[in-house]
Amino acid sequence: AQSVTQPDIHITVSEGASLELRCNYSYGATPYLFWYVQSPGQGLQLLLKYFSGDTLVQGIKGFEAEFKRSQSSFNLRKPSVHWSDAAEYFCAVGAGNYGGSQGNLIFGKGTKLSVKP
Amino acid sequence: DAGVTQSPTHLIKTRGQQVTLRCSPKSGHDTVSWYQQALGQGPQFIFQYYEEEERQRGNFPDRFSGHQFPNYSSELNVNALLLGDSALYLCASSFTGTLDEQYFGPGTRLTVT
């Protein structure tokens, strides 16, 4: 069955430190992969997406992610975290019959990021 | 350009009642998907509407139903509410036939007492 696992429920980093959020997926075909961010009381905002091609993708707000097929992973990274990055981060894989970006998204349970001053 | 809008923002209902949530897609989008996000969980896919028909459905009971109107807006209806239906309901819109991502609205917080 298709699934997404985010092993870390809560991560705390100091402002200015680097960040890596882990994501592992289970999907039979070439996956469409996404990272979304959700601030308290808000909807989801897309940070970046991977469909094909270069396995290192750049997103908004200085985030990047690397697709590693051999490890079934799509980890999110940022070299220097800002206090405004505190939020919940969700990894998702696109599934369904209408194209991975248009089909139903399968989300992980999320990783809450706290930033220490 | 308005993004995805949802109404109402918050809603409190009693167990056994029925509720209707509304969603207006981003301008130019023709596809609407609904997700349920329970507290502390990731969103779960409920169903998707395109050309006024349900074309994909997740693992949700028939108590959850929807509708899409000719202007592409959509409603989510939940009958016979259970305490477990308390959640944030997210609407996402997209344009079928492209690889563009789904855009999410701010959600409707439903509390069932």
Q: pLDDT by residue (tens digit) across B32-63?
A: 999 999 999 999 999 999 999 998 899 999 99
Residues A83-92 have pLDDT tens digits of: 999 999 999 9
- A2 versus A87: the higher-pLDDT residue is A87
Q: What is the pLDDT of residue A97?
A: 61
Question: How many CA atoms within 13 Å lie on the side-chain side of B95?
Answer: 7
pLDDT at A101: 59
Count of residues in chain B: 113
Q: What is the pLDDT of residue A53?
A: 84
**Cβ pair A108, A36 in contact under 8 A:** no
Chain A residues lying within 8 Å of B92, measured CB to CB: 44, 105
A98-117 average pLDDT score: 84
Interchain contact A83–B (C-beta under 8 A): no
What b-and-e string marks burial along A8-28, b requiring 16 or more CB atoms within 10 Å of the CB?
A: eeebebeeeeebebbbbbebe
Question: Does a cis peptide bond (omega within 30 degrees of 0) precede residue A7?
Answer: no
Residues of chain B in contact with residue A42, where contact means CB-CB under 8 angstroms, are: 106-107
Q: What is the pLDDT of residues A17-54, one digit of tens each?
A: 999 999 999 987 778 899 999 998 788 999 999 988 88
